Amino acid sequence: MANRIDAQLAFLTEACKLKSVLRGTTLCDGSRRENSGEHSWHIALYALIMAEHAHRPINIDRVIRMLLIHDLVEIDAGDNPIHGDHDPAAIEVIEQAAAARIFGLLPADQAAAFRALWDEFEAATTDDAIFAKSIDRVQPVVSNLASGGGTWPVYKVTAEQLYSRVGSKVERGAPAIWHALKARIDAWFASTPNS
C-alpha cells in the first residue's frame, strides 16, 4: 500500500507542472494567458454542464475523466495553439514519449488504464472521445468572445479558419453548441473592423 501511495503522489506532484504550461488563449477577462491546468478544470466543468448537447449517447463520467488527463503530455510537449504553425508528426512523437513517461509514474494497473483513456481521446473515434474533443474546442472560442476577440487578432484568425479548425470538430460532437457559437462568431466578425 505504501509503495502504491508513493507512486500515486509522485504522479500527482508531477501533474502540478501542468499549471505552468501557458496556452494561446487568455482568461475570459483578458487579464493573462490561461494555463493548461485551469483549462482542464474549466472544460471538465463545460462537459458536465453541456453533456445534454452531445450528438450521440455518451458516458459523461468517462468524458470528464478523459478531459482531466487529456493535456498532461503538455508537461513535456508544451501547448501547440490551434492557430499556430507546427509540425503535427514531430509533436506526436514527443507526446507519445511524454505519455509513456508521465502515466508510467503510476502503479502499473493505473498507468495502463489512464494511458488507454488518453489514447482513446487522441484517436477521437469513440463517441466519448468525439464529444470530449468538441468541448476542448468550445471553451477557447467562448473565452475569446468574452474578452472582445481575445488572441484572434494576434494570430490573425479569420472566420473561415474558425469554421474549419473549430467548427468541424465541435459540430461533429455537439452540433447544437456549434450552431450557437457560429452565430456569436459571425456577429463578432461582422462588428469588428479589419478582422
Site for a second copy, rule CB under 8 A: 1-2, 5-6, 8-9, 11-13, 15-20, 27-29, 31, 34-35, 37-38, 40-42, 44-46, 48-50, 53, 61, 64-65, 68-69, 106, 110, 139, 142-143, 146, 176-177, 180
> Per DSSP, what are the bridge partners of residue 35?
22
- Closer of 91 and 176 to a second copy (Cβ): 176
- Closer of 61 and 92 to a second copy (Cβ): 61
- Closer of 44 and 166 to a second copy (Cβ): 44
The DSSP line for 29-92 is: TSSSEEEHHHHHHHHHHHHHHHGGG-SS---HHHHHHHHHHTTTTHHHH----TTS---HHHHH
User: What minimum distance in Å lies between the beta carbon of 45 and a second copy?
Assistant: 5
* CB of 173 closer than 8 Å to CB of 58: no
User: What minimum distance in Å lies between the beta carbon of 1 and a second copy?
Assistant: 6
User: What minimum distance in Å lies between the beta carbon of 58 and a second copy?
Assistant: 13
* CB of 76 closer than 8 Å to CB of 98: yes
- Closer of 82 and 144 to a second copy (Cβ): 144
CA distance 112 to 136: 23
User: What minimum distance in Å lies between the beta carbon of 194 and a second copy?
Assistant: 26
User: What minimum distance in Å lies between the beta carbon of 91 and a second copy?
Assistant: 23
- Closer of 41 and 158 to a second copy (Cβ): 41
* CB of 75 closer than 8 Å to CB of 99: no
User: What minimum distance in Å lies between the beta carbon of 158 and a second copy?
Assistant: 23
- Closer of 6 and 119 to a second copy (Cβ): 6
Which uninterrupted H or E stretch holds 5?
A: helix 2-15
Residue 71's nearest CA partner among 107, 23, 27 is: 23
Residue 25's nearest CA partner among 168, 191, 157 is: 157
**CB 167: neighbour CB atoms within 10 A?**
19
